[in-house]
Structure 1
Amino acid sequence: MKKSYLVIIAGVILAIGISVYFLKPWSGQKTRQSSSITSPVKAGSAGHDHDTGSETAQTKESGEQREEEEAPTVEIPGDKQQMIGVKTVEVVVKPLRHIIRTVGRIEYDEKSLATVNTKIEGWIERLYIDYTGKYVKKGDPLADIYSPELLATQQEYLNALKWAGTKQEVQIKDMQKMLSRDAEKILEAARQRLRLWDISESQIKKIEESGKPARTLTIYSPVNGYVVQKMALQGMRVMPGEKLFDIADLSQVWIIADIYEYELPMIKIGQPAVISLSNFPGKEFASRIDYVYPTMSAETRTAKIRFTIPNPGGQLKPQMFTNVEVKVDLGKRLAIPDDAVIDTGTRQIVYVDTGDESFEPREVRLGIRAEGLREVLSGLKAGERVVSSAAFLVDSEAQLKGVVTPGGHKH
């Protein structure tokens, strides 16, 4: 038993030895062959290392160019487009008109305002206008003023008039001519003083005819209108230049409207406008801008513009509020519907129909908004088609499919 066990062990050892003997030469040969194959590559790699790097850089650049040229698109089948309501519109050049809506206020026409005052010192003996708001016509009496200075000037004028009309008994003819000329000059000086005190020619003539100075000077209204301010009181002392009445002609009025700073470049004198009031429903007044004020309000950042409209019957009252619509003709410009634009806060994106049920997200630069349209400054060309309805749904589809929009960000 022990002898047979030893025989088996010896046989196994012999078999292992024979295997090692025959496998060792083939292993060495294979190692030498692999070394011979690898060594030429290693030898040549040092000589061609620079060329390989250049080829790699060129490959990267060409790959980046292909990525830039290939704009990202989102594909939406036609049946799905119909289901979500996708509609496209052509980018065209069309006339744009912008309407600026603002609020105005009725004011007096400053050109029709008149101030009544006196150029003499005196006292008001009689007041014909005893309340504010009364309507007066041109030439209506407003007040009677007693002035000692005016009374003395009238008496001086009457004396000069009497002297000029009396024939002087002077023997020397030259002396007579000289006295006559002096009398005429004194008379004219007295008459001129009365005129400078706003004494009318009819009043002067009345003084001449009566031969007596008038105790009081009557002040008349210079215009038709309403007394909007009254400072005169019965018995009050007045000084030269002191304002007694303000009279406003309301046959036409001004509309003063506020315009925001960003709208000012579009405002020009002569542009048409429509003015309406809430207390006159259905009634509109047509006018045009006749003045743009040169200053701005620091608090509201607005400037004022002015319109003039007729006021027959005095229905329009100062300080009434009005609605104003200014129509601005912007000319022909490249435009798209406002609904086609997706505003991300930092960029404006539109989806361009590239055909084959594909849409390309494209960044655009926009200008003025006018009547549901947006002016296109850059990013689109006339003739291209953009999504005008369901643009947000197309954008959502692009997000779901991981489409990168211009700028290199998914949104």
Structure 2
Amino acid sequence: EEIRVDKTGQAVAKDDILLSLYSPKLVSTQQEYLLALNSLATLTNSPFDEIRRGAEQLVKSSRERLQFLDVPKHQIKELERTRVIQKNLHIHSPVNGTVIRIGSRQGQFVTPKTELYLIVDLNQVWVYADVYEYELPWVKVGDEVEMTLASAPGKIFKGTLSYVYPYAESKTRTTKVRMVFDNSELLLRPDMFADVRIKADAQSDAIVIPAEAVIRSGDRTQVFIVRGPGKFEPRIVTLGLESDGLVSVLVGVKAGDEVVTSAQFLVDSESKLREATAKMMEALKGGGDDSRDISGNNVMDQVNMEASGASDRPIESPIIDHSEHATQGVDDND
């Protein structure tokens, strides 16, 4: 009959009238309720208890039918007071929130299955991210999370990881996690994309090196170990978590090794890098000494670089970076 809230994005308060419906069933149920009230008024002083109790039960059942039709209490009280049948049923907002979707228009025929409105409380939102398999051991419920948005440059949103889903995505081999963020300023909106950083626990007794020491070439990840003046050994490594300019090394470097860290040294070419690595691999295959030196001249034009020792210490607050993850309003279906 009447649509009072007709725009998506409109804020509504609890008990605000959203729309009014006309229903023949509503009219007939009100008529039944008024008849039951009149019968009870007539039979209140009846000397027969069973008749009086029957009238009371009829009023109760008629009132319950109105409640089953979601007739608000104030309309039922108005009906009892005025004894005037209301043709329209007012539909009220059950919560404070924002209208995300409107499922009906004025004059449309609706059924109990028709979604009239989707209203979401955006003061708190859920954000979903995909975590790679190798990161899962470091992720747990309760971890702190930081998020940035392109629409709010310079602002960091702080939240909490609230749930790790118990299954992996078959196509991406990632596991979905859910995070909760306060949104009292309403800057976060459904289906936005964000950059997310999960702060995992500190990893104790880790071998860590500066992240700038890592050289990634094709499918290889390697570092250069200082073997003496002007001599360097390329060494393939397996990396762990990265945090604040440091990266943990799982395989390939031991505590005390000196690694090349300066970003100022000049690599002659990627081909020479592959050549040096190939020589090392040939030596290993030929049964040669696996610790033989490789001259720095085979790898780079100059040796004006800095070296840093690999250390055996905790890597503080590892950061797991995930970009472009959608935010979603809280609902009760998950």
Q: Is the CA contact (8 Å cut-off) linking 1:285 and 1:309 kept in structure 2?
A: yes
Which of 15, 29, 33 aligns to 1:157? It is 33
How many residue pairs were aligned?
274
Q: 2:79 & 2:179 partners in 1: Cα distance?
A: 47
Other-structure match for 2:23: 147
Other-structure match for 1:135: 11
Q: Is the CA contact (8 Å cut-off) linking 1:366 and 1:378 kept in structure 2?
A: yes
Other-structure match for 1:43: none
Q: Which of these two proteins has the greater Rg computed from alpha carbons?
A: 1
In the alignment, residue 130 of structure 1 is paired with which amino acid?
A: D
Q: 2:259 & 2:127 partners in 1: Cα distance?
A: 43
Once the two structures are superposed, what CA deviation does each residue of 1:171-213 show, in whole Å capped at 9, x if it has no partner? xx4xx11110111111111111111111222221111101122
Once the two structures are superposed, what CA deviation does each residue of 1:352-398 show, in whole Å capped at 9, x if it has no partner? 769xx798969786451424333345773x5x4434458999x99xx
Other-structure match for 2:42: 166
Q: 1:275 & 1:237 partners in 2: Cα distance?
A: 44
SS at match of 1:237: coil
Q: Is the CA contact (8 Å cut-off) linking 1:337 and 1:388 kept in structure 2?
A: no
Other-structure match for 1:374: 248
Once the two structures are superposed, what CA deviation does each residue of 1:61-110 show, in whole Å capped at 9, x if it has no partner? xxxxxxxxxxxxxxxxxxxxxxxxxxxxxxxxxxxxxxxxxxxxxxxxxx
Which of 84, 94, 100 aligns to 1:222? It is 94
Q: Is the CA contact (8 Å cut-off) linking 1:132 and 1:228 kept in structure 2?
A: yes
Other-structure match for 1:77: none
In the alignment, residue 165 of structure 2 is paired with which amino acid?
A: Y
Q: In 2 relative to 1, CA 294–183 (structure 1 residues): closer, same or farther, beyond 3 Å?
A: same
Other-structure match for 1:57: none
How far does residue 253 in structure 1 lie from its aligned partner after superposition?
A: 1.9
In the alignment, residue 158 of structure 1 is paired with which amino acid?
A: L
**Which has the larger share of helix?**
1
Other-structure match for 1:279: 151
**Residue pairs, 1:165-244, within 5 angstroms:** 165-167=41-43, 173=47, 176-244=48-116
How far does residue 349 in structure 1 lie from its aligned partner after superposition?
A: 7.4
Q: 2:250 & 2:153 partners in 1: Cα distance?
A: 38
Other-structure match for 2:173: 301
* Structure 1 residues not aligned, in runs of 5+: 1-124
Q: 1:126 & 1:336 partners in 2: Cα distance?
A: 67
Q: 1:347 & 1:277 partners in 2: Cα distance?
A: 31
SS at match of 2:201: strand
Normalised TM-score (structure 1): 0.57
Other-structure match for 1:269: 141
Which of 190, 193, 196 aligns to 1:318? It is 190
In the alignment, residue 262 of structure 1 is paired with which amino acid?
A: Y
Q: In 2 relative to 1, CA 375–333 (structure 1 residues): closer, same or farther, beyond 3 Å?
A: farther
How far does residue 239 in structure 1 lie from its aligned partner after superposition?
A: 1.4
Other-structure match for 1:246: 118
Q: Is the CA contact (8 Å cut-off) linking 2:125 and 2:182 kept in structure 1?
A: yes
Q: 2:64 & 2:189 partners in 1: Cα distance?
A: 42
SS at match of 2:91: strand
Other-structure match for 2:201: 329
In the alignment, residue 227 of structure 1 is paired with which amino acid?
A: V
SS at match of 2:32: helix
How far does residue 234 in structure 1 lie from its aligned partner after superposition?
A: 1.3
C-alpha RMSD over aligned residues: 3.6
In the alignment, residue 194 of structure 2 is paired with which amino acid?
A: T
Q: 1:369 & 1:242 partners in 2: Cα distance?
A: 49
* Structure 2 residues not aligned, in runs of 5+: 295-334
Q: In 2 relative to 1, CA 201–290 (structure 1 residues): closer, same or farther, beyond 3 Å?
A: same
Other-structure match for 2:303: none
Q: Is the CA contact (8 Å cut-off) linking 1:139 and 1:221 kept in structure 2?
A: yes
Q: 1:177 & 1:143 partners in 2: Cα distance?
A: 43
In the alignment, residue 375 of structure 1 is paired with which amino acid?
A: V
In the alignment, residue 132 of structure 1 is paired with which amino acid?
A: T
**Residue pairs, 1:24-43, within 5 angstroms:** none
Q: 1:134 & 1:343 partners in 2: Cα distance?
A: 51
Normalised TM-score (structure 2): 0.69
In the alignment, residue 26 of structure 2 is paired with which amino acid?
A: L
Q: Is the CA contact (8 Å cut-off) linking 2:3 and 2:19 kept in structure 1?
A: yes
Once the two structures are superposed, what CA deviation does each residue of 1:134-166 show, in whole Å capped at 9, x if it has no partner? 222111111111111111111111111111112
Q: Is the CA contact (8 Å cut-off) linking 2:27 and 2:87 kept in structure 1?
A: yes
Q: In 2 relative to 1, CA 294–186 (structure 1 residues): closer, same or farther, beyond 3 Å?
A: same
